[in-house]
Each structure stands twice: as structure tokens, then as C-alpha cells.
Amino acid sequence: MVQATQARWRAGWQGGTVKLTAVELRRVSLPLVAPFRTSFGTEVEKDALLVRAISPEAEGWGECVAMAHPLYSYEHLEGARDVIRRFLLPRLFAAGDVTAQGVGHLLEPIKGHPMAKAAVEMAVLDAELRQSGTSFASFFGAVRDRVPSGVSVGIMDSIPQLLDAVGAYLEAGYVRIKLKIEPGWDVDPVRAVRERFGDELLLQVDANTAYTLGDARQLARLDPFDLLLIEQPLAEDDVAGHAELARRIRTPVCLDESITSAATAAAAISMQACQVINIKPGRVGGYLEARRIAIVAAANGVPVWCGGMLETGIGRAANAALAACLEFTLPGDVSGSDRFYARDITAPQLIQDGHLPVPTGPGTGVEVLDEVLADVTTDVETIRP
Ligand code: SMG
Ligand code: MG
């Protein structure tokens, strides 16, 4: 079954074409259950851009993971909306009928903007798969019906507060903890969590580019704590620096922000700049490229896991499907909806026994709740050919 589904992925998919009659671009804003602090800022609400692909046969939803401010990467929501409206959609409309596999080629002449492109491709893929009654998981060749759920824990005001938060997530069943770190909040919180919760806990850290190679000695102080990995300690464009750092510390280096395509993944692997890769479909231009990165990494013996961008239920469902593929051997940042949202725009997706179920219905397998959607929408526009 594994081989058959993977063979189908490689052979290419014949799911029929999508006749785009309109595309809706919708801005939504959802309050977070608690502030989420990283090395680059504090989020108190999630702003997202939803892309709704409308065709006579089916509707598909995409979610843009760009943030309101360009702090994680250069993309930001209003910029993405502008790029989608002015440069991406005209190319799809001009092509007439489209397929998800074809979207990447049609959009290739437009430089950069992977998050904008990913949202558009996802909407087309969802429409195409709904039209043919196929789930994301089946399309990807997924091999699991549930995925181990890790949780990303923000920077806190104090260590006791952090220990309470981690304790509550472990109580809820999460199988892996990721601590956000920054200079001044690294060795002490890691030591405290290790001491309190023991050596068996799967523990990793994420710096979101907050360090430089000059901090190598400080980062080496994390070595005794047996972390699964350290995620993106250095700048996005400092792949060579990560290669050097990887020689100086024992904790495996994992790249997040630096990996924007299968080509950058292959280059980083060949430079020995990463021993692990965090794959975020939104960051790499879409689920198809994400799938290709997983294959490149697996071929080189590099483990991968599925990252998160505080997705709403739409992106969460699709991420669960991706994380269910064979190459994803480490628990991902695929937490339950209630980790971030009291009320999501789809029915809640909750962890059971530390795992998130992989949806089985057509497309993402989740339905948008119209009433919630109306409540959280801050702006909506419909674009036609
Ligand atoms: O969706 O669980 C989630 C969030 C996981 O920490 C997470 N994402 O760099 O990996 C990362 C961050 C990016 C978003 S921070 C606002
Ligand atoms: Mg990260």
C-alpha cells in the first residue's frame, strides 16, 4: 500500500482540471487563547488570508501563512494579497482550466512570494481533490491515520510560568515539547524543563534566527541536555554559518526559515548545514514542493517534520495529512486547534492520546463553519477573470 501510493505520487496525478470562475480573498482575525511570544515578537491574534477557489464543480480553500508583519520572513499578509490579486490570479485565469500540479509552473515567472503562491496552489488542490473525491492524505500517499502531536511553547516571563505551561501540555498528552529561545532565555529554561520533566521527554528548541555564529559557545551549552534539535539559530541567509555551527555544537541543527524550496533544501543538505529539516508547506510554495522536499531529504537520510504557522483548521487539516507521509519521522508542530483557538473556523481538531487524526474526507476533509467565518472576517473581495 505504501509503495503503491508513493508510486502514484511520483507518476503524477490525474485528478481533472479546475475551471476557475472566481477567487475570493478573505482576511480573518482570530484571537489566540494566550499571547504567543517568540524571539521576533508577541502574537495575540492570528491574522490570516484565506483563498477560496470557486469553480462550477467544487470549491477549494487555501490558507496563506504570511503574518501581518514581515517578522518571520519578508512576506506579510497585505503584500501577499496584493501579489495574489495583481500577479498570480491573472496568470491562472489566463490559463483557463488549471490543475494543482500546473499552478507552480504557471506562477514560476513571478519571483519569490512562496507563501502567496502556496495559498493559491492549496485552494486549487483542494478544489481539484474535492471534485474527484480524494483526500489530501491519499493524494500525498500518506501512510498513517493519525500523527504524533508536538507543541511549540512561547517565551515566558519566568521559569515557574514556563514549567506550568509545559506541565499542562504534557498533561494534555503532547508527545514532544518545543521551547522558543532567544539570547537570555535559552540554557536556563532548557535546564529547568529537563530537570522537572526528565530525560525521556522529547525536547527541542527554536531560535527563529536570534543568534549569530559568535554565539556558538553559548549554544554549545545546550549540548548536555540531549535536545532533539535546535531550529534555525542563525539568519535565514546564513546557510554557511549553520554548517559551521553544526561542526561546533552537538545538538543537531534543523533549518526552518532557510529552506524555501527543494533546491535550497538540497543545497543546505549538501553543505551539511542541517541534520534535520522543518517543512512548512506555506514557506516553500505549497504542499507539492513540501512533498518534494521530504523526498529529497529522505533520499539523503535527513529526517523531516511538519512545522506550523498557527494555522486555522484549514491549514491544520492539510498539515496533518502531510505529516502522515512516510518521510515525516519526527513529531510535528501539529497541535490541536485548542492550542491556539477557543473557536476555530472549522470544527475543532483535537488530539487524542497525543495524536491528531488525519482527515479522510475529500480535499482537506474539513468544512468551514459559515457563521464563525462571518464573525472573524475583517475584509473580503471576489476576483473574476
Ligand atoms: O502552529 O504550532 C504552531 C506554531 C509553531 O512555533 C511555531 N511556529 O518558527 O516554527 C516557527 C514558528 C513560526 C510562527 S511564530 C509566530
Ligand atoms: Mg521555526
Residue 178 appears among annotated catalytic residues: no
94 shares its domain with 235: no
- Write the pLDDT tens digit of every residue in 279-319: 999 999 999 999 999 999 999 999 999 999 999 999 999 99
223 shares its domain with 103: no
Q: Rounded to an integer, what distance in angstroms lies between the CA atom of residue 209 and that of residue 253?
A: 12
Average pLDDT of span 19-39: 98
Q: Is the CB of 308 under 6 A from ligand 1?
A: yes
Domain count, the chain: 2
Question: Does the pLDDT at position 2 exceed 50?
Answer: no
Q: Is the CB of 174 under 6 A from ligand 1?
A: no
pLDDT band of 75, cuts 50, 70, 90 = very high
**SS3 readout for the chain:** CHHHHHHHHHHCCCCCCEECCEEEEEEEEEEEEEEEEECCEEEEEEEEEEEEEECCCCEEEEEECCECCCCCCCCEHHHHHHHHHHHHHHHHHHHCEECHHHHHHHHCCCCCCHHHHHHHHHHHHHHHHHHHCCEHHHHHCCCCCEEEEEEEECCCCCHHHHHHHHHHHHHHCCCEEEEECECCECHHHHHHHHHHHCCCCCEEEECCCCCCHHHHHHHHCCHHHCCCCEECCCCCCCHHHHHHHHHHCCCCEEECCCCCCHHHHHHHHHCCCCCEEEECCCCCCCHHHHHHHHHHHHHCCCCEEECCCCCCHHHHHHHHHHHCCCCECCCECCCCHHHCCCCCCECCCCCECCEEECCCCCECCCCECHHHHHHHEEEEEEECC
pLDDT at 16: 84
pLDDT at 6: 53
**Contact call for residues 194 and 168 (beta carbons, < 8 A):** no
Domain-embedded: residue 306: yes
Q: Tell whether the torsion through CA atoms of 157, 233, 279 and 229 is positive or negative.
A: negative
- Write the pLDDT tens digit of every residue in 211-256: 999 999 999 999 999 999 999 999 999 999 999 999 999 999 999 9
64 shares its domain with 144: no
- Write the pLDDT tens digit of every residue in 14-23: 678 999 999 9
**Which residue in 30, 2, 29 sits closest to 337, CA to CA?**
30
Most ligand 1 atoms within 8 A of CB, residue of 76, 310, 338, 356 to mutate:
310
117 shares its domain with 166: no
Q: In DSSP terms, which residues pair with 352 in a beta bridge?
A: 355
- Write the pLDDT tens digit of every residue in 46-58: 999 999 999 999 9
Domain-embedded: residue 73: yes
Q: Which atom of ligand 1 is nearest to the CA of 154?
A: 6
CATH of the domain at 97: 3.30.390.10
The values of phi and psi at residue 45, to 5°, are -145, 160
Domain-embedded: residue 245: yes
Domain-embedded: residue 4: no
Residue 180 appears among annotated catalytic residues: yes
**Contact call for residues 122 and 155 (beta carbons, < 8 A):** no
CATH of the domain at 331: 3.20.20.120
Q: Which atom of ligand 1 is nearest to the CA of 339?
A: 2
Residue 210's domain spans which residues?
Answer: 138-357
Domain-embedded: residue 260: yes
Question: Does the pLDDT at position 375 exceed 60?
Answer: yes
Domain-embedded: residue 6: no
Burial class (CB in 10 A: 0-12, 13-18, 19+), 62: buried
Q: Rounded to an integer, what distance in angstroms lies between the CA atom of residue 331 and that of residue 320?
A: 11
User: What is the model's pTM?
Assistant: 0.96
- Write the pLDDT tens digit of every residue in 84-99: 999 999 999 999 899 9
Q: Which atom of ligand 1 is nearest to the CA of 36?
A: 16
CA distances from 172 to 27, 36, 301, 323 (A): 31, 18, 32, 20
